[in-house]
């Protein structure tokens, strides 16, 4: 086996090892830069792996130990997993850079090491959720991700963040419970936990009409469990509080990455374990479609009424996750591919928006109300531009990534039978709704150039982060075709 195929496993272990070492209580700066370096190294290694695996056009199973499936744990590397891992680690690194100033203000100096432990663990959990080939490993790392994500919410140690954390934690626990119940039912039916064997067993059971209700129940419970954690309607109420009250880095990581990890595990379940044909015949995807549709509309409507910039962005996350679930709900390969693209583009665009908003509010005396941020873009023009790129991408203006995602979803919906009208109408309506809150906010930020001459202190890390994230949004929008081809190929090889 070529050495490059060890990279996914090495990335995972690097994250976990550095998390363990960071808990020794190092100096705040050292801990922060270690976390940045770890995520950057992971991004580089994952990119190397992605290039290798895309060139060789295969997927392979990597045994975690001496014993192959079905006896020992396994991870599986393919183009899609490599793509997710690269984007997740890169965005993690950029989120850390973008929120640096605020992170050092909000987190107690002595507790910075612990904060970085959580960030490394979140990255480890995201990587494992993309690569795993074992459903129970998936459960364990979903838990790690949940606990670490809750800790990220409460990094800014104040009453409201604690209350938001407790609500987030309890809803997540409901989700874990349902997911575990689903896993146990599936294990009782098939006797396996490794995905290759599960696939075969599920295919055999799907033909048996006596077992189909149980299969549907198990899949439904797992979908609901992961859905609660990634804020699927109607379990989205925790998200706006949790994501808006946290510090900038946490908000960006939570909104851009953490909720996506669970969605990626759902892709593995739908495409690899159950296969889309079975999912369609069990009719679980119809429920997901309806819930995704509802979330998409409701999130946007609620965002229109928000006057707090971070809450507006958080409600917009609910809406954007609605697109992802709608893509899953279509139950076709094109729909899932478009949902994967949406996951990627949102992983760039939402952190970009949060980092820009954090910078804009930092130069305006830490005000978060939109009314107080009037004209703030003139004080930090680059952050204003970054917010513009993110907002236009969310609305779905051509050349930006969001447009490509929406096009992909629309094209994917065309084979959807009954769902065509709903999907296309929903996309159109939701784009208009997105425009209704993003464009006014953008105009608000850029209007009324303030008179004062004093320029705020520079923030080089933030500048770099905004530039790279915006470049990512534009690159995904411009190179839509090759990325989409890679995703489609990755889904075939999954």
- Collect all residues with Cβ–Cβ distance below 8 Å to 457 and sequence separation of at least 6: none
Please provide residue 12's backbone torsions phi and psi, each rounded to the nearest 5 degrees: -60, -45
Residue 1 CB neighbours (<10 A):
7
Taking CB under 8 A as the binding criterion, the range among 140-148, 256-264, 314-322, 416-424 that sits at the site for other proteins is: 140-148
| Cβ at position 228, least distance to other proteins in Å | 11
Q: Is 16 in the site for other proteins (CB under 8 A)?
A: yes
Q: Is 159 in the site for other proteins (CB under 8 A)?
A: yes
Rounded distance, CA 11 to CA 7, Å? Answer: 6
Rounded distance, CA 354 to CA 289, Å? Answer: 28
> For other proteins, which residue of 213, 381, 398, 425 counts as binding (CB under 8 A)?
213
* Bridge partners for 75 per DSSP: 62, 132
* Bridge partners for 60 per DSSP: 77
Rounded distance, CA 288 to CA 281, Å? Answer: 14
Is the Cβ of residue 114 or residue 414 nearer to other proteins in the bound state? 114
Q: Is 21 in the site for other proteins (CB under 8 A)?
A: yes
Q: Which helix (H) or strand (E) holds 470?
A: helix 460-478
Strand intervals (E) in 343-397? none
Q: Is 208 in the site for other proteins (CB under 8 A)?
A: no
Q: Is 200 in the site for other proteins (CB under 8 A)?
A: no
> For other proteins, which residue of 11, 117, 273, 282 counts as binding (CB under 8 A)?
117
> For other proteins, which residue of 80, 119, 144, 338 counts as binding (CB under 8 A)?
144
* Bridge partners for 77 per DSSP: 60
For residue 354, count CB atoms less than 10 angstroms from its CB and return exposed for 0-12, middle for 13-18, buried for 19 or more: buried
Q: Which helix (H) or strand (E) holds 248?
A: helix 248-253
Is the Cβ of residue 141 or residue 403 nearer to other proteins in the bound state? 141
Taking CB under 8 A as the binding criterion, the range among 65-73, 97-105, 289-297, 421-429 that sits at the site for other proteins is: 65-73
| Cβ at position 46, least distance to other proteins in Å | 18
Q: Is 369 in the site for other proteins (CB under 8 A)?
A: yes
Q: What is the SS3 assignment for 71?
A: coil
Taking CB under 8 A as the binding criterion, the range among 147-155, 287-295, 464-472, 473-481 that sits at the site for other proteins is: 147-155
Rounded distance, CA 8 to CA 20, Å? Answer: 19
What Cα–Cα distance (Å) separates residue 448 from each residue in 174, 307, 361, 379? 47, 18, 16, 11
> For other proteins, which residue of 76, 100, 156, 192 counts as binding (CB under 8 A)?
192
Rounded distance, CA 429 to CA 441, Å? Answer: 19
* Bridge partners for 74 per DSSP: 63
Strand intervals (E) in 302-422? none
Is the Cβ of residue 143 or residue 492 nearer to other proteins in the bound state? 143
Q: Is 173 in the site for other proteins (CB under 8 A)?
A: yes
Residue 151 CB neighbours (<10 A):
19
Nearest one of 364, 147, 368 to 244, comparing CA atoms: 368
Rounded distance, CA 343 to CA 483, Å? Answer: 12
Is the Cβ of residue 12 or residue 487 nearer to other proteins in the bound state? 12
Q: Is 185 in the site for other proteins (CB under 8 A)?
A: yes
Q: Is 378 in the site for other proteins (CB under 8 A)?
A: no
> For other proteins, which residue of 30, 51, 105, 160 counts as binding (CB under 8 A)?
160
Is the Cβ of residue 104 or residue 136 nearer to other proteins in the bound state? 136
Rounded distance, CA 239 to CA 452, Å? Answer: 37
Q: Is 106 in the site for other proteins (CB under 8 A)?
A: no
| Cβ at position 28, least distance to other proteins in Å | 12
Interface of this chain with other proteins, residues 242 to 281, rule: CB under 8 A: none
Interface of this chain with other proteins, residues 433 to 472, rule: CB under 8 A: 436, 440, 443-444, 447
Taking CB under 8 A as the binding criterion, the range among 168-176, 416-424, 425-433, 464-472 that sits at the site for other proteins is: 168-176
Is the Cβ of residue 352 or residue 441 nearer to other proteins in the bound state? 441
Q: Is 111 in the site for other proteins (CB under 8 A)?
A: yes
Rounded distance, CA 55 to CA 484, Å? Answer: 16
Is the Cβ of residue 276 or residue 309 nearer to other proteins in the bound state? 309
> For other proteins, which residue of 38, 39, 47, 62 counts as binding (CB under 8 A)?
62
Taking CB under 8 A as the binding criterion, the range among 30-38, 137-145, 271-279, 482-490 that sits at the site for other proteins is: 137-145
Q: Is 411 in the site for other proteins (CB under 8 A)?
A: no
Q: Is 165 in the site for other proteins (CB under 8 A)?
A: yes
Q: Looking up tokens 């050092």, which residue turns up?
A: 104
Q: Is 393 in the site for other proteins (CB under 8 A)?
A: no
Looking at residue 201, the DSSP 8-state letter turns out to be H
């Amino acid at each position: 086996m070529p050495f490059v195929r060890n990279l996914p496993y090495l990335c995972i272990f690097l994250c976990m090892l550095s998390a363990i070492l960071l808990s020794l209580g190092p100096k705040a700066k050292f801990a922060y830069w270690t976390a940045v370096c770890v995520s950057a190294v992971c991004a580089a290694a994952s990119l190397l792996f992605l290039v290798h695996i895309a060139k060789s056009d295969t997927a392979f199973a990597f045994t975690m130990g001496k014993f192959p499936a079905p006896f020992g744990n396994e991870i599986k590397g393919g183009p899609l997993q490599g793509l997710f891992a690269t984007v997740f680690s890169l965005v993690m690194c950029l989120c850390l850079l973008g929120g640096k100033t605020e992170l050092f203000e909000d987190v107690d100096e002595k507790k910075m090491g612990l904060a970085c432990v959580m960030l490394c663990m979140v990255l480890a959990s995201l990587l494992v959720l993309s690569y795993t080939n074992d459903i129970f490993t998936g459960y364990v790392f979903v838990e790690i991700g949940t606990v670490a994500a809750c800790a990220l919410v409460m990094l800014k140690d104040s009453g409201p963040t604690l209350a938001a954390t407790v609500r987030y934690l309890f809803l997540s626990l409901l989700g874990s419970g349902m997911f575990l119940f689903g896993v146990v039912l599936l294990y009782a039916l098939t006797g396996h936990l490794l995905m290759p064997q599960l696939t075969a067993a599920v295919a055999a059971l799907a033909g048996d009409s006596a077992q189909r209700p149980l299969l549907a129940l198990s899949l439904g419970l797992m979908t609901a469990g992961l859905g609660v954690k990634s804020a699927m309607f109607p379990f989205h109420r925790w998200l706006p509080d949790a994501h808006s009250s946290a510090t900038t880095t946490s908000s960006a990581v939570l909104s851009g990455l953490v909720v996506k990890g669970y969605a990626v595990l759902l892709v593995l379940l739908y495409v690899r374990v159950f296969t889309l044909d079975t999912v369609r015949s069990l009719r679980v995807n119809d429920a997901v479609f309806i819930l995704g549709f509802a979330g998409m509309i409701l999130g946007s409507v609620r965002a229109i009424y928000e006057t707090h910039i971070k809450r507006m962005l958080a409600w917009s996350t609910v809406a954007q996750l609605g697109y992802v679930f709608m893509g899953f709900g279509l139950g076709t390969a094109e729909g899932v591919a478009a949902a994967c693209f949406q996951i990627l583009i949102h992983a760039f665009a939402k952190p970009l928006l949060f980092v820009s908003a954090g910078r804009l509010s930092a130069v305006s005396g830490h005000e978060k109300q939109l009314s107080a941020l009037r004209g703030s873009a003139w004080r930090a023009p680059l952050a204003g531009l970054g917010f513009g790129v993110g907002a236009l991408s969310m609305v779905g203006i051509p050349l930006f990534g969001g447009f490509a995602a929406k096009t992909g979803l629309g094209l994917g919906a065309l084979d959807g039978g009954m769902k065509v009208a709903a999907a296309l109408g929903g996309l159109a309506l939701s784009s208009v709704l997105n425009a209704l809150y993003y464009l006014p906010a953008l105009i608000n930020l850029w209007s009324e150039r303030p008179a004062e001459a004093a320029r705020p202190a520079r923030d080089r890390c933030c500048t770099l982060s905004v530039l790279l994230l915006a470049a990512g949004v534009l690159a995904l929008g411009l190179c839509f075709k090759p990325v989409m081809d890679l995703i489609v190929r990755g889904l075939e090889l999954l």
